[in-house]
């Protein structure tokens, strides 16, 4: 079956609730481990069904946010999601209280029980209406961003379609395109401010309802951070500020020279070379064809994976009207199907998506043996190791896409990955400030962003854009609205991915790929630092873990005569 043939059927909640409560009661009343395992199996099958249906609805809604049927289904899941969560929490209570925990851990894994403990802490029936509000506000933001219709170059474009113009070699064009891009956010400023203000307040209220000091505590539990806390993250941010920012500042100085400007303005940042950025040398069909060739040659495992993805049409890559912004990978249980969603726009980002989201998809494909849908994916910072590392493992095949501009792409990609780290920790630091001070006004939040931005991204010059100079760049960062505290996961994972780059590309370590396969196969049955250990990597929290990597990247990039690329 192809994805378009997957049947969607909204569950009848009352029937589902009855079946779930019967299974939970059987678990509570189990007289031996066989009865307990049988009850757990029934509950697992019920959870697979809801996850399957909710993911099909989610994907189809994001492909076309104007589809009235799936907009209605999205509203249903926003409203009923917390009610299903209430049932799952009843199940987790019964599971944790079972006298057959030792036997059940052999079936479900110890990590599943840790997950259950965390999820119980993040939910209460008293918070259901607040959770519904949170869901609705997140969808409101997504729909607002997807609604963008910007007149430019005689066309009507969405935000993604403006991307190539923002990379134009003509400075006046990229400036005009950047102004048009951010003008959309400026026109929607009051609406975005209201959505975020309501999100902050409702999340703070959820945290207080659940007995937490602030939403930061709740946010860390929601992200299932088993191995680390906010103090360790703060130390990591400090390391990035001290060790990475000085190196990235040098890279921005080199960029200014390459594109022949005295000073980089915000609209210059997307152009890396005076004769243009590296771009894919073919249309989406060509990219898909070369992607298949690449994954066939990378390994037998990736060959099997990519055939499955293409045969079942589990990719939606081209941008179009009404399509949600951004890119993601999700997993549809029962069908054992990853799904990759993206918005190709003719830039090198199209290849980044093909490797990054395919890294996620490959991991869940390797982990599809895991029966419990909650732990097919690992926690977010672990999942991003798979995606970001795949970007590096595929380096030897970049010539398929970029031909004569391959070295230009690799230089930009590696430097861009390092330049991301300060921005990644900026987003995280900002969210800590916001949720530790939920009473801040919209104006105070913007001032906070701009203050932190000057610390982590001192190169950004908004002197020609008053709107951005107020501290509004974060308006475009969907994670801040819909998945709070996710963003540091990218930074932590990037440090791990850099280690794979050093081993596989820099040092030609043949064992690196096998270590990568190993962490893909365990899925969410292990915690972040356990996965790091399995992969034979250093923890990003370990003192000096950044030093060696940053030095190696700096040496490689410094050895490149980028003026000749």
Q: Report the distance separating Cα 119 and Cα 396, nearest Å.
A: 41
Nearest CA among 351, 290, 340 for reference residue 315: 340
229 in a domain, yes or no?
no
pLDDT given for residue 544 in this prediction: 84
403 touches 410 (CB < 8 A)? no
86 in a domain, yes or no?
yes
Question: Residue ranges of the chain with pLDDT lower than 70?
Answer: none
389 touches 532 (CB < 8 A)? no
For residue 258, give every residue at least 6 positions away whose Cβ sits within 8 Å of its Cβ, in sequence order, or none: 272, 273, 274, 562, 563
Domain count, the chain: 1
Nearest CA among 374, 421, 358, 335 for reference residue 47: 374
Beta bridge partners of 156: 151
Helix (H) or strand (E) run with residue 231 in it: helix 230-239
pLDDT given for residue 545 in this prediction: 87
Rounding to the nearest 10 degrees, give the CA dihedral for residues 88, 93, 98, 100: 50
Provide the 3-class DSSP secondary structure of residue 453: helix
Strand order in the sheet with 328-332: 315-318, 337-344, 328-332
Angle in degrees, 0-180, between the axes of helices 128-146 and 68-96, rounded to the nearest 10 = 140
114 in a domain, yes or no?
yes
502 in a domain, yes or no?
no
| Largest pairwise CA distance in the chain | 77
Angle in degrees, 0-180, between the axes of helices 380-393 and 349-366, rounded to the nearest 10 = 120
171 in a domain, yes or no?
no
Q: Report the distance separating Cα 356 and Cα 378, nearest Å.
A: 16
Q: Report the distance separating Cα 527 and Cα 487, nearest Å.
A: 18
Q: Would you state the structure tokens that stand for residue 79, as one six-digit string?
A: 């409203």
Cα 93 vs. chain centroid, distance in angstroms?
Answer: 30
308 in a domain, yes or no?
no
Q: Give the model confidence (pLDDT) of 545-556 as tens digits.
A: 899 999 999 999
**Phi, psi angle pair for 545, to nearest 5°:** -65, -30
Q: Report the distance separating Cα 490 and Cα 540, nearest Å.
A: 12
Q: Give the model confidence (pLDDT) of 495-517 as tens digits.
A: 999 999 999 999 999 899 999 99
For residue 551, give every residue at least 6 positions away whose Cβ sits within 8 Å of its Cβ, in sequence order, or none: none
Q: Would you state the structure tokens that stand for residue 100, as one six-digit string?
A: 């057959």
Burial 353-364 (b: 16+ CB within 10 A, else e): bbbbbbbbbbbb
Beta bridge partners of 328: 341
Q: Report the distance separating Cα 252 and Cα 269, nearest Å.
A: 8
End-to-end CA distance of the chain: 45
Q: Report the distance separating Cα 561 and Cα 565, nearest Å.
A: 7
Pairing of the two strands 315-318 and 337-344:
parallel
What is the span of the domain harbouring residue 56? 3-134
494 touches 385 (CB < 8 A)? no
Helix (H) or strand (E) run with residue 413 in it: helix 406-436
Pairing of the two strands 155-157 and 150-152:
antiparallel
526 touches 534 (CB < 8 A)? yes
Residue 112: exposed, middle, or buried by beta-carbon count in 10 A (0-12, 13-18, 19+)?
buried
Neighbours of 180 (CB within 10 A): 18
441 in a domain, yes or no?
no
487 in a domain, yes or no?
no
């Amino acid at each position: 079956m192809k994805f378009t043939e997957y049947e969607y059927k909204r569950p009848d909640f009352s029937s589902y609730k009855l079946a779930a409560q019967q299974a939970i009661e059987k678990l509570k009343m189990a007289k031996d481990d066989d009865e307990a395992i049988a009850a757990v199996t029934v509950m697992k099958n019920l959870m697979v069904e809801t996850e399957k249906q909710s993911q099909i609805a989610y994907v189809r809604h994001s492909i076309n946010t104007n589809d009235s049927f799936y907009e209605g289904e999205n509203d249903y899941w926003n409203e009923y999601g917390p009610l299903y969560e209430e049932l799952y929490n009843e199940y987790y209570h019964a599971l944790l209280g079972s006298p057959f925990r030792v036997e059940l851990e052999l079936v479900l894994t110890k990590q599943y029980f840790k997950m259950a403990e965390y999820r119980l802490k993040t939910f209460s029936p008293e918070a259901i209406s607040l959770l519904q509000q949170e869901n609705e506000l997140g969808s409101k933001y997504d729909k607002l961003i997807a609604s963008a219709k910007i007149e430019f170059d005689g066309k009507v474009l969405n935000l993604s379609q403006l991307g190539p113009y923002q990379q134009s070699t003509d400075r006046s064009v990229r400036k005009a395109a950047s102004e048009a891009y951010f003008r959309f956010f400026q026109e929607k400023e009051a609406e975005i401010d209201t959505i975020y203000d309501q999100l902050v307040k409702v999340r703070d209220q959820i945290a207080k309802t659940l007995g937490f000091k602030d939403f930061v505590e709740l946010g860390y539990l929601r992200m299932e951070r088993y191995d680390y806390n906010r103090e360790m993250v703060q130390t990591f941010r400090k390391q990035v500020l001290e060790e990475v920012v000085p190196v990235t500042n040098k890279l921005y100085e080199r960029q200014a020279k390459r594109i022949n400007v005295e000073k980089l303005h915000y609209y210059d940042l997307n152009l890396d070379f005076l004769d243009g950025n590296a771009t894919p040398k073919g249309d989406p069909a060509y990219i898909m064809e070369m992607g298949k060739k690449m994954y066939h040659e990378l390994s037998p495992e990736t060959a099997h994976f990519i055939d499955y993805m293409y045969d079942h049409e589990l990719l939606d890559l081209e941008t179009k009207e009404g399509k949600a912004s951004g890119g993601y990978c999700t997993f549809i249980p029962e069908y054992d199907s990853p799904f990759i969603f993206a918005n190709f726009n003719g830039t090198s980002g199209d290849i980044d998506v093909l490797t990054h989201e395919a890294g996620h998809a490959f991991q869940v494909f390797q982990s599809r043996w895991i029966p419990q849908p909650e732990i097919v994916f690992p926690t977010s910072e672990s999942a991003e190791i798979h995606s970001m590392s795949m970007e590096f493992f595929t380096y030897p095949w970049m010539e398929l896409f970029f031909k004569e501009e391959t070295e230009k792409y690799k230089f930009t990609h590696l430097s861009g990955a390092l330049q991301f780290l300060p921005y990644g920790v900026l987003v995280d630091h900002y969210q800590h400030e916001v949720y530790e001070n939920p009473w801040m006004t919209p104006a105070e939040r913007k001032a906070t962003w701009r203050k932190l931005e000057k610390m982590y991204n001192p190169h950004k010059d908004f002197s020609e854009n008053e709107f951005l100079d107020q501290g509004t760049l974060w308006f475009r960062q969907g994670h801040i609205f819909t998945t709070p505290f996710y963003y540091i996961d990218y930074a932590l994972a990037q440090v791990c991915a850099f280690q794979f780059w050093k081993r596989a590309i820099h040092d030609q370590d043949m064992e690196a790929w096998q270590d990568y396969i190993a962490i893909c196969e365990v899925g969410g049955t292990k915690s972040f630092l356990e996965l790091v250990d399995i992969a034979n990597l250093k923890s990003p929290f370990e003192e000096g873990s950044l030093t060696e990597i940053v030095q190696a990247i700096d040496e490689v990039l410094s050895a490149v005569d980028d003026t000749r690329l």
